[in-house]
Amino acid sequence: MNGCESNGLLYHHPVYTFAIFIQGLSSFLAFPMMFFVFKKYGHKVYYHSNLLFLVALNAASCLILAGLTAWSATNFFVQLIIKPSPCDMLMRTEFCSKIRASFLFAFLLVSTSHAGILIERSCATIFVKSYEKQGKALGAILAILAVTVSALTIYVVIYNEDKEEFITTCLTFSASKSIGNQIYAMFFAQLILDALVSIVHLCLYNYNKRTTGNNSVSLSEQFQRNENMKTLKQVTPLMILSNVTIGVYIFVISVFRLSKNYLPVNWYEIIAALLFIMPHMPLMFSSLLFFEFCRDERRLVAVRRKIVADQENAQTDQLNMLIENWETKFESRENDSRVVREHTASSKLCRFFNKRQRTIAAIY
């Protein structure tokens, strides 16, 4: 069996087909999930305009990932239906070059936009007293830098791409003979970047947490510190998810890559497709955002209920005090009236007996 036929048989392998199906399903589900999150919670997000640039860039990169993965999975099953032979099902790299470059660009943009968010929040922390009045220049510059760095990096990575190489899907990276090593080098660099961003991010969050309770600062400064904490708290799970996704994939697939020549035919490609977590990141990101917003909403509802309950308890306590005061005064008046009545009755009784005694004395 020649290489063309053996590679083409991947299309009919049930495990490989299942992996591609799950990737496509995850990508298609990401769109309604992201739409639902933006529709339900988008109007409740009050970020600084600089931060909005970078958050929008991060969301756009997730949408690009989901769209390209959905297209790749759809194209895979279309090829499976309409192509008669295994060799006809394979695609040349030249056909998928721009699609692969766009996917890698969007994937790297997730990490570079995280770095931009960290820089923006660092500036908001350093210049906390005046940052609220800053314009949109910083966010635009950081967004342009994130896009530029991602684009130049991908250009270098795929520069030596073999246009004649046959691949099963446009998202075949680790199994690529021409650029597989360059892609792994980029993944390692991306993992280091995410790790550094996470460490600095944690330090920044702890610093803002320590200084938030300072009541001696102005209201503007206090608001900005609260905004920093809220944003950092929301971004933290996304960064952890990105780090875990990249780290697990790179570590596991690198181990299998060392034993690639000892595995049965096509099994390395099958394992790589099963472990290829990147297409699932849009759905995971949007789901995580949904749970984060839901948690914040429940927390706000709980705080409001506590405030209302405290107000009601205060009003109830005040009413009870008034009732107790009224009852005390009422009982005091009743006691005074009772004493007066008893004194009056005893006086009348004494006068009655005195009058009787005088009457009897007059008779005798």
Structure tokens at 279: 């297409």
Bridge partners of 166, per DSSP, are 92
Q: Is the pLDDT of residue 170 over 80?
A: no
- Cα torsion 226, 231, 234, 235: sign: negative
- Give residue for tokens 């008046």: 333
- When pLDDT is averaged across residues 329-341 and rounded to a whole number, the result is 58
Q: What is the DSSP string of 70-90?
A: HHHHHHHHHHHHH--SHHHH-
pLDDT of residue 149 exceeding 90, the answer is yes
Q: Which residue, 293, 65, 58, 48, is CA-closest to 194?
A: 58
Residue 143 has pLDDT above 50, yes or no: yes
* Segment 144-158 mean pLDDT: 91
Q: Point out the least confidently predicted range of 117-131, 186-200, 263-277.
A: 263-277
Query: In the structure, what pLDDT confidence band is assigned to residue 180 with cuts at 50, 70 and 90?
Result: confident
**Confidence category of residue 1, pLDDT binned at 50, 70, 90:** very low
**Residue 280 clears pLDDT 60, i.e. is over it:** yes
Q: Which is higher by pLDDT, 302 or 1?
A: 302
Q: Does the CA dihedral 323-329-331-334 come out positive or negative?
A: negative
CA distance 281 to 279: 6
Confidence category of residue 182, pLDDT binned at 50, 70, 90:
confident
Which of 202, 266, 272 has the alpha carbon at shortest distance from 236?
202
Query: What is the model's pLDDT at position 167?
Result: 73
- For the cut 70, the answer to whether the pLDDT of residue 331 exceeds it is no
Determine which of 3-7, 29-33, 95-99 has the lowest per-residue pLDDT on average: 3-7
- Residues 66 and 43: their CA atoms lie apart, in Å, by 23
Query: Cα(160)–Cα(53) distance, rounded to whole angstroms?
Result: 33
Evaluate whether 120 touches 51 at the Cβ level (below 8 Å).
Answer: yes
pLDDT surpasses 60 at 345: no
For residue range 51-76, what is the model confidence (pLDDT) as tens digits? 878 888 888 888 888 898 888 888 88
More confidently predicted of 130 and 139: 139
pLDDT of 343: 54
Q: Is the pTM of this model over 0.85?
A: no
Q: Does the CA dihedral 132-133-135-137 come out positive or negative?
A: negative
- At 144, the pLDDT band (50, 70, 90 cuts) reads very high
| pLDDT tens, position by position, 202-240 | 888 888 777 766 665 666 677 777 777 777 777 777 777
Mean pLDDT of the chain: 75
In this predicted model, which residue has the larger pLDDT, 21 or 217? 21
pLDDT (0 to 100) of residue 333: 62
- How confident is the model at residue 147, as a pLDDT? 93
Q: What is the pLDDT of residue 45?
A: 64
Contact 128, 225 (CB under 8 A): yes
Domains of the chain in start order, with CATH, are 3-299 (1.20.1070.10)
- CB 27 within 8 Å of CB 282: yes
Of 103 and 255, the structure prediction assigns the larger pLDDT to 103
153: pLDDT strictly greater than 80: yes
> pLDDT, tens digit, for every residue of 80-121?
788 767 666 777 777 778 888 888 898 889 888 888 888 888
Lowest mean pLDDT among 37-41, 119-123, 142-146, 335-339: 335-339
